[in-house]
Every structure is written in C-alpha cells, then in structure tokens.
Chains A and B, each alone.
Chain A
Amino acid sequence: MALKQRIEQVGNVKAWFGELPVESLYTAGVGGEQFFRTLKDEGVFTGTRCEQCGIVYVPGRIFCERCLTKLDRWVKVGSEGTLKSWTVLYLGLDGKPQAEPEIVGLIELDGASTVLVHRLGNIQPAEIRFGMRVKAVLKPKSKREGAITDIRFFEPV
C-alpha cells in the first residue's frame, strides 16, 4: 500500500485510534484586554499608537513590533473601515460544504494601520470589491463578553 493510501486509509492497516484531551484557556493579554474591555463596555474600537513609526495598532499592542518601543498611548479608531482583501469559504472547518458560503475579510478600520480578520455579512460574494467601505455590526451590549465574536460581522456601509 502506498504511503499516501496508508495515511488516507488508516483503518485498513493496524492502527491505534485515540484522542488527546487538550483544553486551552487563552488570555487576551495586556493589550488585548484593554481592546476587548473597551469594545465590550463602550462598543468602541481602540488601538495604540507608536509616535516614532507613525503606526496605529488595532487591537492595541503594548510594544511596537517595528521599533520595540513600549506603547501606552491608546487612541480610538473608527468602527468603519476599508476592505483590504477577502476570501469566500465554501467548506466548513470540518471540510464539508457549507449551506451558505462564509466570507472572511481583512478590514482596516479608519485610523488604524493594521487589519482585523473578520466575517463579512449582508453581502453576496459577487458584490464584494477591494477597498469597499464596511462597518462593524456589534452584538447588543448585554450579549457582549469581551471577545472578537462581540463583532457579529462587517457589512457594507
């Protein structure tokens, strides 16, 4: 049996099946904590600005990735932005076709130098254009929990 077949058809050879119990609890970190708290409580996007490099990081980092300067100046950025790129996902995480394709985009919020990865909603794949204007659709405040999913998706402005 060829190696590729052996890998794809492991049931046909003597194989051990098992499962590793892996649980992870991921903290947002100092910068992420600040970003998500503000998003949760105020529904506002914030970042940190490096004066030296003129870059605004969103979510805020606590140091500049280019010059390694410590960053503690938090600035508000817009909840609208520009679509820099996107991809249409016809398969789900389980590798099976999805009922509705999911669209994931890179969004540069107004005032930010970096992009956020998030879903696009209320738009058909054929209508998407580079550089189109989008805005964040947040969950209602009572449902927000300080996570990236507090943003439901970005939709066309």
Chain B
Amino acid sequence: MKQKKETMPVLPGTGLKDEDFKKGRVLTTSWNADARYAWDAGVAIGRYLAGLKQGKILGVGCNKCGRVMVPPRIFCEWCFRNIDEWVELKDTGRVNTFSLCYVTWDVKRIKEPQIPAVIEVDGASPGMGIMHLLGEVDPKKVQVGMRVKAVWKPANEREGAITDIKYFKPI
C-alpha cells in the first residue's frame, strides 16, 4: 500500500489498485450479501400477468375520464378513483417509440441490436403502451407508427410473465 500524495491534491485518502487487493498488500474482509428478494406484483399487475399466461393483454377502464389503461393499475391516477372495469385488449398495436441498443443491460457489446420499444396496444387509449422488444425486423426499417403484433410463447411455456410475449413483429 503506497500513499500517493502526488496524485491526490484535494482529498486525503489511500489510492488502491486491483493488484493491491490481489497481492494482499491491504487487509480485507470479503462478504457476499444473501440478497434474495420476493417482489409482490400487487393486485392489478398480478391479474395482468395471469392474463398474459392465458395469452391475453388486459387493460383497465376509468368511466370518468374514459381512458383505457395498460399496464393495468388499481386506480386512475388522473381521476384518483378506483378503476371501473377490466377489458381484454388486442395483441396488436403501433410503435410509439423505440431504441436500437448495441449494448446489453450488463454492458456487453452486441452486433445485432436489441430493439426495445413502447407499443401502443390496440384497444387502449392513444399513447397508452407497454415496453417490449421488437423482433423479426430489420433494424434499419423500424419506424415510429409501424404496426406490430405480439409473438407469444407456446401456451405450455407461459408462466405469467411479461416474457410470455417473446417480442412484437411487424404486420
């Protein structure tokens, strides 16, 4: 362990490098947190996920503002009252916005981009959409407003998760 005063003009401290740890120049204690979690999906998303397992995209309606919302929620955040109904939406829609990602979530470079997009689902109010991936499409040809349809996993592989839809493809 070297005190590198010349490289630390402002704050006192001890600069450490990876090899200082590897070569045991500093005493360390290692610890792996047992960070397991269970995340409760809640009433509305719970029912939404159950719908996905059946191959349905469910939304909720508010009679006051007239909106049909997806993903479902238990109250209308505009009117601040309980939602009135559950409705089955179509599994088609239009691309509201998208991104071409050449880097994965854990920062690995990829040649073929992943294309996350917000899909405005048919049957929901304008601008109401869900985040998902686009597939079976040339990245250069993706456009805002493009019509798309869900590609589902086979029923026996569905588990009540957003990944029960594999991706949306152009129609």
Q: Which residues of A contact B33 (CB under 8 A)?
A: 20, 22-24
| C-alpha gap A36/B39 in the complex (Å) | 41
Inter-chain contact A15/B1, CB cutoff 8 Å: no
Min Cβ gap A99→B in Å is 21
Of all chain A residues, the one with the shortest Cβ separation from B49 is: A14
Q: Taking A19-B35, A147-B27 as given, write out 20 further A-B residue pairs in contact, using a Cβ cutoff of 8 Å, ordered by the A residue number.
A: A13-B46, A14-B41, A14-B49, A15-B38, A15-B40, A16-B39, A16-B41, A19-B37, A20-B36, A21-B35, A22-B33, A23-B30, A24-B31, A24-B32, A25-B21, A25-B29, A26-B30, A27-B16, A146-B27, A147-B29
| C-alpha gap A11/B46 in the complex (Å) | 13
Question: Which of A6, A14, A16, A20 has the most B CB atoms < 10 Å from its CB?
Answer: A14
- Residue from A20, A32, A37 within 8 A of B35 (CB atoms): A20
Min Cβ gap A86→B in Å is 24
| C-alpha gap A108/B85 in the complex (Å) | 66
Q: Is B144 an interface residue (CB 8 A)?
A: no
- Give the number of chain B interface residues (Cβ < 8 Å): 24
| C-alpha gap A114/B27 in the complex (Å) | 22
Inter-chain contact B37/A17, CB cutoff 8 Å: yes
Of all chain A residues, the one with the shortest Cβ separation from B47 is: A14
Q: Is B50 an interface residue (CB 8 A)?
A: yes
Q: What are 26 contact pairs spanning A and B, CB under 8 A?
A: A6-B40, A10-B38, A14-B45, A14-B46, A14-B49, A14-B160, A16-B37, A18-B37, A19-B35, A20-B33, A23-B32, A24-B30, A24-B33, A25-B30, A26-B31, A27-B16, A27-B26, A27-B28, A28-B26, A28-B27, A28-B29, A30-B14, A33-B1, A33-B27, A36-B27, A147-B29
Of all chain A residues, the one with the shortest Cβ separation from B20 is: A27
Of all chain A residues, the one with the shortest Cβ separation from B14 is: A30
Q: Which residues of B contact A27 (CB under 8 A)?
A: 16, 26-28
Q: Which residues of B contact A30 (CB under 8 A)?
A: 14
Min Cβ gap B122→A in Å is 25
| C-alpha gap A94/B33 in the complex (Å) | 13
Say whether, besides A6-B40, A22-B35, A33-B1, A14 and B30 are in contact (CB < 8 Å): no
Min Cβ gap A2→B in Å is 13
Question: Which of B14, B21, B36, B38 has the most A CB atoms < 10 Å from its CB?
Answer: B38
| C-alpha gap A14/B42 in the complex (Å) | 7
Of all chain B residues, the one with the shortest Cβ separation from A36 is: B27
- Near A by CB (< 8 A), chain B positions 131-170 give 160
Inter-chain contact A33/B26, CB cutoff 8 Å: yes
- Near A by CB (< 8 A), chain B positions 3-32 give 14, 16, 21, 26-32
A-B CB proximity, top 7 nearest: A14-B46, A20-B35, A10-B38, A22-B33, A146-B27, A14-B41, A16-B39
